[in-house]
Structure formats: C-alpha cells, structure tokens
Structure 1
C-alpha cells in the first residue's frame, strides 16, 4: 500500500487569503497546504478519500491517471467541492465513477451537484455510480474499508481503516468502541487543527494524547491551520513516532 497526502490543510488552506502571519509568509514548501485529502494505492487499485476544492490541482500535481473510486468522510465543502472534476476520469476511463458515502452525504452531493444526478443530466456533466455505506465494513473492488465513526462537534464523520492504515479527519471526539477499531494500526493519520482549544477539531495536545493511547508505529497529523505554527518548529516538538504530514508526502506500508 502507498498513501500520498494530496492536501494537509484546513478549510481555508495555508496560506490563508490576505494573511501576513509568519506561517502564511513562510517559504518552506511544507507550510503550503491544500485542503485535506489522500490518495491510496492498494492491491493494484487507486482510491481517493474526499474531493476538496483543490482536487484538480492535486490530481495534476501527483500525475494520477487512474482512479477506481472516491470515498467520502463527510459533506463539508472543503471535502466535496472538487467533485465535478471527476469528469476527467469519466472521459479518460470511459466509465461512471463509483462514489461511496453515507446517505446523508449522498443527499448533499445530489443537492450541490444536481446537474450530475438528475434523470436528465447536462451534457458533459460528471457521471457517478453511487454506493451507500454505513458504519459497518464494506468492500470496494476487493479492498475492505472499515469505517470509524468520529464526531466533528455534533456531526458524525467517517474515518477509514484499510489493513494496517487508519485515516481520521475532522474530529474532536471518538468513542472507546470506535477507538478499538483503530488499535493495532501501524500507521494512524489524525486531525490536529492548532494548539488552542477548538469546538470541532482536535488540538495538537489532544491528538498526541489519542495517538499515544493507540500506540501506532507511526502517526501523521493533518487538517492543519496556519495557527499551528511553522512546520519545522512544530515537528521538532513532537514525539519520535509522530510527524506533521505535508502536501506530497508519500508513505509505504
């Protein structure tokens, strides 16, 4: 399995429009963060989790030519806004793109991209094969996904475990029952917005505490805002088995 971090930033990305803080002015490429998403290559298949506003740019940057399915964590705009650009894969691969999401997320996608979901679709619109998922394991072309339900304030969000890899974004709480699904993961990717307390995201300290509870071989932090601080500075403060992810980072399992 190979995982590529397509984006590691929060909903505004980094730099933030109009901001002159030291992080937004940083020349370190690791401080340039597109909206959070990953590309997973496993057992010969190619999956993307979430299609944020930067989806087109991320696909071009990573030269991703084949995509077998898109899996969604939740319906917030920074995780779905780039869905229209899936049509490039429709044209290239000559197939409807399989989407996997809960019914609540499907309803939102149908509303936002109504021209692609109606019985009479607009010419040139993206084409989808919609698959409803719940909180029980599901199979995507021979690959098992184990959903991990977390809460983003009061909104249920799905993380996913694929073999020994677990990916959790947009969260500030997780039950002990769901945490059991995560334990044993070799690699854990977890949301950590900033150092200060936030209503709907884990802080840096909260994320580190949860990671230490799970005790993976390695953990990576994502959904990072400019308020976290410079990558180089924060990275030096972290335990040996925890790192800040950055756009373009590739990990092999």
Structure 2
C-alpha cells in the first residue's frame, strides 16, 4: 500500500491569500500546502479521501491515470469543492464511485445539482455513483478493499475518519471517543490533523494531536490539516517525538 499526501493545509491553504505571515512568505516547498487530501494506492487501485478545491492541481502533480473511489470525511467546502474536476476520470472510466454519509450527499446534491440530475442532464457533467455509508458498518471499495469508518467530532458536526488495513486517516478531529480509538489500535501509520498550538473549537491543537497519537500508539504518525500559525515545517518537526512527522504535499510513504 502507498499513501500520497495530495494536500496538508487547512481550509485556506498556505500561503493564505494576501498574508504577510513569515510562513506564508517561506520559500521552503514544505511550507506550501494545498487543502488536505490523500491518495491511497492498494492492489493497483486508487482511493482518494476528500476532493477539495485544489483537486485539479493535485491530480496534475501526481498524475494518476484512474480514480477508483472517492471517500468523503464530511461536507465542508475544503473537502468537497473540487467535485466537478473529476470529469476527466469520468470521461475515461464512466461513473466514479463516491462514498459518504447521507448528509454529505444531501449537501453535494444541493451544491452540485447538475451532477446528480437524472433528467435533461448536461452531457459534460461528471457521472457518479453514490454509496451511502454508515458509521457502524465496514464497507468495501476498489477491488474489495475493506474500509472501517471512524466517528469523529468536528466541533458539533459528526464526521468520519477511515481505517484501511494498517493505515488510518483522520482530519478535522476535535473529539474521538474511546470506543472509536479502539478501532484504530494496531495501525502502523496514523494520519491526524494538528492545526496550530493555540486552542481551536473544532480542530486538534498540536498538543492534542500528540496526546491522541500516544493513545493510538502507531509505529508512525503524520500530522496534516496544518495552519501557517503552527510555524515553519522544519522548525516544528525538529521538536516532534521520533515517530511523529509533519506531512507535506506530495510526500509518499509505503506501508
């Protein structure tokens, strides 16, 4: 299995438009972050988690020939706004398989009505197949790869993380119950959000993320959904535990 970080930034990305913050002015490519998403390649199939507004740019950078499934953690724009840009894959492959909770599809159908239209469809619209998932049920994607949903609270919004084999991906987490943490035990690679050092209503701070890593005890952990306020990549990573790393765009790890 291979995991590629398509984006590791928070909702505004880094650099933030118009910002003069030192991290936004950094020349280090690791400090330049598109909106958070990953590509997991397993058994020759490509699974994308979240399809944000930078999806087109991300796909051009890593250049996968196919996308076999897209999993949505939740409906916020930084995780869904790139849906129209799946069109080249649809034109080559046919329907793209989407997986998300019912409320996520309700939001997508409102915002991208033309994609889900069943009559008088615009011929250039993406073609998709909706697969509604339940937080309490495992499901199969892309050549029968098993996915375990992990319930996460994003402030008051229930969202999902996902475990695929020995890898788990959680973003936008603020609260994860002990019951859900049990589903993560035994993972080799944990990806989890760490927005900044200061308290935030809906995201783990750096210290909260590190405490969460201690509970799960993966062999390695990678931090994502990072704000410029966390600091320079190289400086932050120097002070992390030896098995914890900052993710950065285009980083690929083998599992």
Structures share a fold, TM > 0.5? yes
> Once the two structures are superposed, what CA deviation does each residue of 1:99-132 show, in whole Å capped at 9, x if it has no partner?
0010000101111100010112212000001110
Q: CA deviation at 1:152?
A: 0.3
Which residue in 2 is equivalent to 1:172?
174
Q: TM-score, normalised by structure 1?
A: 0.99
Alignment of 1:1-253 (within 5 A): 1-93=1-93, 95-120=94-119, 121-135=121-135, 136-140=137-141, 141-253=143-255
> Once the two structures are superposed, what CA deviation does each residue of 1:2-51 show, in whole Å capped at 9, x if it has no partner?
00000000000000001011100000000000000000001221110110
Q: CA deviation at 1:218?
A: 0.2
> Once the two structures are superposed, what CA deviation does each residue of 1:67-120 show, in whole Å capped at 9, x if it has no partner?
111110000000000000111101122x11110010000101111100010112
Aligned partners of 1:138 and 1:64: how far apart in 2?
24
Aligned partners of 1:10 and 1:82: how far apart in 2?
15
Aligned partners of 1:13 and 1:92: how far apart in 2?
30
Aligned partners of 1:226 and 1:234: how far apart in 2?
11
Aligned partners of 1:119 and 1:184: how far apart in 2?
43
Aligned partners of 2:84 and 2:130: how far apart in 1?
14
**What 5-or-longer segments of structure 2 have no aligned partner?**
none
How many aligned positions are there?
252
Give runs of ≥4 in structure 1 deviating > 6 Å.
none
Q: CA RMSD in A?
A: 0.6
Helix, strand or coil: the match of 2:183? helix
Q: CA deviation at 1:54?
A: 0.2
> Once the two structures are superposed, what CA deviation does each residue of 1:159-214 show, in whole Å capped at 9, x if it has no partner?
00000000000111000000000111000000110000000000000000110111
Q: TM-score, normalised by structure 2?
A: 0.98
Aligned partners of 2:177 and 2:247: how far apart in 1?
25
